[in-house]
Amino acid sequence: MALKIFQHQSSLRYVYHYFSHPRSFSIEPSSFNQDVDKIYRIINDSSSAQNLKKSLNSSGISLSNEIIDSVLKRVRFSHSNPLKALEFFNLTGRRKDFYHTQLSLDTMLYILGRTRKFDQIWEVLSDIKRKDRSLISHRTLQVVLGRIAKVCSVWQTVEGFKRFRRIAPELDTQCYNALFRVLCQEKTMVDARNVYHSLKSQFKPNLFTYNILLSGWKSSEEAEGFFEEMKEMGVKPDIVSYNSLIDVYCKSKEIQKAYQMLDKMQEEEISPDVITYTSLIGGLGLAGQPDKARDVLREMKEHGCYPDAAAYNAAIRNFCIAKRLGNAFELMNEMVAKGLNPNPTTYNLFFRVFYWSNDLKSSWSLYQNMKAAGCLPNTQSCMFLVRLCKRQEKVELALELWNDMVEKGFGSFILVSDVLFDLLCDTGKLVEVEKCFLEMVEKGQKPSNVSFKRIKVLMELANKHENLKNLSEKMAVFGPSLIIRRPNENFDDATPLRSIAR
């Protein structure tokens, strides 16, 4: 039986390139999720490409772009086997008149790059170029270079850029801008500056080029020099350029220079925006002037600019740093009064203070208020709470947080579970740890190998062999264990260059 693939009309082909989740027929959400879950498990259980094809044929599921996008996202966030995912990507992509979306392509490249499968990245790009060049975008370049830059040297990153240019030579200045953005994010500004000077004869820098590079400077002296070079090249600074320079001054506590630049903007008839004032508020806080920062917050409207949640968060942060929580809570109430909803970043400012003062009672009260206000915590919020619960061995509260996460779908199950499982193992709660483990797997999330090994030892000691067998089978669904390094880990530059720029 032929593999069932959702076939596109030619008129729909390019629509899929611009919309991540097109619908040409109605899908019940529950049925759709079940299909995604079934395909995800088929991929992880397959032993070969032939076995995968056979299992997909017998599944009875029409593999639409939407399902493929969702399955690949599931693989990405569960850290499943990248090569099995690649088999699925290639198998579906080979069908006549079928075209992957940009989302599927970029997700697949991210999955491969995370595990250093650089040879496979170039193979995928070469295949896509032959079949549908329009899928390769500036976003694709940024995904590929971002993964290379995380584990390789600056030189190897540039070599990867040059190889990508051979695949997509028609990409313009935006292509170079994507390279500089990656270098600013993953390397140092010195690296970005050096690469810029080595390549600037090959393209024409535009306003966006300079704004990308300006946004990364930490030294005001170097930022000033680059700002002047920009004007010498005949590129007129815009509000983003000025905001970048003001932000550098504020972070360097050079408030006077920041205000001088503000005056310069007004001379150029460039009106400061909320980002301008947010930088000033943050800079005044760093300079130990939270009250003056609050005054700026209230004076903004006189200049026709109204504060947003980020501006209020900057002012609240200043009072939290000064340990003036009363003033910080007053500002949060003021936000609400003005129709601005506090977001997880707002609450995390308070969670951080309570965490370092070991105040679980206040943290938990704030968490309850957060839920009552309809604001779902993010991963940082959950980590502050679960770590406090572990520190004080409050199992019931930690489980309540976990149950909320399972029910409402917020936070990172992988990060929170590591701390939660440690707490449950420390306190001998094997029934609870098994329940949480299974709930996590049902969500398509893989528990860490470290946590599983600890649970395994405790279950063996407790003679829970049947329970352990069940958990082992659940872990096996995710495929062989892979070493996934965290972003803050150090890497050497030993990755063979041939794998990157061959």
pLDDT tens-digit readout, 220-277: 888 898 899 888 989 999 999 999 999 999 999 999 999 999 999 989 999 999 999 9
Closest CA to 386 of 343, 337, 420: 420
**Is the model's pLDDT at 76 over the cut of 70?**
yes
Residue by residue, what is the 3-state secondary structure of 283-348? HHHHCCCHHHHHHHHHHHHHHCCCCCHHHHHHHHHHHHHCCCHHHHHHHHHHHHHCCCCCCHHHHH
pLDDT at 11 > cutoff 60: no
Q: What is the mean pLDDT of residues 72-94?
A: 88
Taking the CA atoms of 375, 379, 382 and 384 in sequence, report the sign of the dihedral they define: negative
Hey, where are the domains in the chain? Answer: 1-136, 360-502
Residue 480 class from Cβ within 10 Å (0-12 exposed, 13-18 middle, 19+ buried)?
Answer: exposed
User: What size, in residues, is the chain?
Assistant: 502
Q: Cα separation of 127 and 93, whole Å?
A: 10
3-state DSSP of 176-237: HHHHHHHHHHHCCHHHHHHHHHHHCCCCCCCHHHHHHHHCCCCCHHHHHHHHHHHHHCCCCC
What pLDDT, on the 0 to 100 scale, is given for residue 406? 93
Give me the pLDDT at residue 24, please: 35
Using the Cα atoms of residue 239, residue 243, residue 244 and residue 246 in order, give the sign of their dihedral: positive
Helix and strand tally (H, E) in the chain?
Answer: 28, 0
Distance between CA atoms of residues 422 and 427, nearest Å: 9
Residue 155's pLDDT is: 94
Res. 303: pLDDT tops 90: no
Q: DSSP assignment, residue 21? A: S
DSSP letter at 152 equals: S
> pLDDT, tens digit, for every residue of 441-494?
888 788 999 999 999 999 999 999 999 999 999 888 776 544 434 334 333 333
Structure tokens at 408: 């409402």
Amino acid identity of residue 383, one-letter, is: M
**Tens digit of each residue's pLDDT (9 = 90 or more) over 92-137:** 988 888 889 999 999 999 999 988 999 999 999 999 998 888 899 8
Higher pLDDT, 495 or 441: 441
Range with top average pLDDT, 4-13, 23-32, 47-56, 380-389: 380-389
The β-bridge partners of 63 are 5
Q: Burial, 242: exposed, middle or buried (Cβ in 10 Å; 0-12, 13-18, 19+)? A: buried
The rounded mean pLDDT for the chain is: 86
HEC letters along 122-140: HHHHHHHHHHHHHHCCHHH
Q: Does pLDDT of 18 surpass 60?
A: no
For residue 2, the SS3 value is coil
Task: Report d(CA 347, CA 318) in Å as an integer.
Answer: 14
Q: What is the CATH number of domain 360-502?
A: 1.25.40.10
Question: Once rounded to an integer, what is the mean pLDDT over residues 282-291?
Answer: 95
| Contact between 235 and 207 (Cβ < 8 Å) | yes
Dihedral over alpha carbons 219, 224, 230, 235 (to 10 degrees): 120
Q: Using CB atoms within 10 Å of the CB of residue 338, give its burial: 0 to 12 exposed, 13 to 18 middle, 19+ buried.
A: exposed
Handedness of CA 202, 203, 207, 213 (dihedral sign): negative
Question: What average pLDDT does range 334-361 have in this prediction?
Answer: 96
The residue among 407, 409, 368 whose CA lies nearest residue 385 is 368
What confidence tier does 29 reach under pLDDT thresholds 50, 70, 90?
A: low
d(CA 450, CA 475) in angstroms, rounded, equals: 12
pLDDT (0 to 100) of residue 434: 96
Give the residue, 393 or 26, on which the prediction is more confident: 393
What residues have CB less than 8 Å from 195, skipping those under 6 apart?
154, 158, 179, 180, 183
Determine how many CB atoms are found less than 10 A away from the CB of residue 221. 10
Q: Is 145 helix (H, G, I), strand (E, B) or coil?
A: helix
Token match 């029934």: residue? 431
Paired tokens of 99? 């075209």
Match 């995800």 to its residue by tokens. 40
